Amino acid sequence: MSDFDFIADRPVLDFVATVAERGTAGEEKLRRPRDLAVWAREAGIVDGPVKVTADQLAHARAVREALFGLITAAIDDRRPSRADRDLVNAAASGVAPTLNLTGAGTVARRGDIASVLAALAQDGLDLYDSADADSLRRCADPHCTRVFLDRSRGGRRRWCGMKGCGDRAKAASYRQRMRDSEAG
């Protein structure tokens, strides 16, 4: 079973979520180079395994944090830092994975870790400049630092997903109602 969740509808949002609970527990999900290789394949950015060195993992984490900075700047309606902008722009200038139609009629996605980061940085820049930027939200769970796109009809979604944060909030609300009814 994977340690990764792919619930955001955008690869860049799933990538920045590979750190859970920023500022509190700071649960790093990309602990080893192999974790990043697995994430890239499970995210569908590349089909086969990619080689990742410890230095490349460190660079990928830096790009991830710059992307998080870019995304939170969009949410907060402020300019991203120059350092974040420069790092994301540098990663985005790379060549994204190559797509090829195979004889079996499937599309093969091939690339190295630099191409994976290029695809993620390009997705981050596209998101920053798209109509979706207005739909970016932070999860209302005080421990969760996941960002998501609120595509709900009323634009009032509060949780990154019902599995996890939403379920915990609903359960806590239910327990509070039960305590209130017993006390009343």
Q: Which of 34-38, 78-82, 148-152, 162-166 comes out lowest in average pLDDT?
A: 162-166
For residues 72-100, average pLDDT: 97
How many CB atoms are closer than 10 A to CB 64? 24
Nearest partner of 169 among 139, 149, 145, 138, judged by Cα: 139
Give mean pLDDT, residues 52-68: 98
Tokens representing 168?
């915990």
* pLDDT for residue 120 is more than 70: yes
For 55, the token pair is 């230095």
Residue 174 has pLDDT above 50, yes or no: no
pLDDT surpasses 60 at 1: no
Mean pLDDT of 144-157: 82
- Mean pLDDT across 136-146: 83
Instruction: Report the share of the chain in percent with pLDDT over 90.
Output: 61
pLDDT(91) > 80: yes
5 exposed, middle or buried (CB, 10 Å; 0-12, 13-18, 19+)? middle
* Per-residue model confidence (pLDDT) at position 36: 97
Q: What's the average model confidence in pLDDT over 98-105? A: 96
Higher pLDDT, 115 or 147: 115
Distance CA 170, CA 126 (A): 34
**For range 130-146, the mean pLDDT:** 86
Rg of the chain taking only CA atoms, in angstroms: 18
Per the prediction, the chain carries an average pLDDT of: 88
pLDDT confidence of residue 170 = 57
Rounded CA gap, 114 and 36, in Å? Answer: 12
